[in-house]
Amino acid sequence: MNDLSGLRLRDFPLPLKLTISLGLVVLGFGYLIALANLYLTYHLTDGQPGLTVSDLRRAFYGNRETTKLAAKIDGGSMAQFLPKPGDKEKILSWIQDGASREGYEAVVRPILAENCIRCHNPEGLQRFRPLTSYEEVMVVTQVDRGEPVSLWARVAHTHIQSIGLIFLVLGAVFCFTSVPEKWKTVIVVLPFAALLVDFGARYLARTVPAIVYLMLLSGASIGLLFAVMTLVPLYDMWIAKPSSPE
């Protein structure tokens, strides 16, 4: 069996270096898009601009003092889509009065049809939360307890597998850099641990809101490790000079 311990990325043939480099660049570009999607998804959850701890707490723990629908339209991310004066107050009053079917048909349904249904329908951008019937609207008139387990499971199983595969590729490439072996061992292990901690914290944040800080820490760690495992191989292949023989 050939010894690969001395093989470095700069020693690879040019076609292989180009393949690896372009793959790293595309993965990095995809990660930036993922960060943009994360920001756009959660930055208005608390009704204020910017992605903060408050957004994450509201998204994953919820607002236990109100319902999901009320939290979204009263200072939340959906308030901007009810521009007509009085519409928000009518929906809030309907919820407080018991959310009857009669009130829904007379007052709430026309407001939702005008402002919300274009996205909150089975074919719309917010298809995961349709609001086209009384039964569907009643789901969000319950106390806001944050992300449901079903949504967590759907996101977790796809992201853990896909991000895990990405770090498998990055780790394999990183093993051929000039970084000392002891640091390689640490760096290739950390992203997998951080990924599991991140989604574990996301689940536990449903019951302990302070765990969103652990989510922030693990997410930042994943981003930092992604940058290291992408940029160091590129540096080794195209910029670093071979060390002089002793």
pLDDT tens digits along 176-194: 999 999 999 999 999 999 9
Residues 6+ apart with CB under 8 A from 184: 174, 175, 177
For residue 234, pLDDT beyond 80: yes
Reported as a single tens digit per residue, the pLDDT across 141-153 is 987 788 889 889 9
Confidence bin at 243 (pLDDT 50/70/90): low
Query: What pLDDT, on a 0 to 100 scale, did the predictor assign at position 246?
Result: 44
Long-range CB contact pairs, 101-106, < 8 A, 24+: 101/134, 104/134, 104/137, 105/134
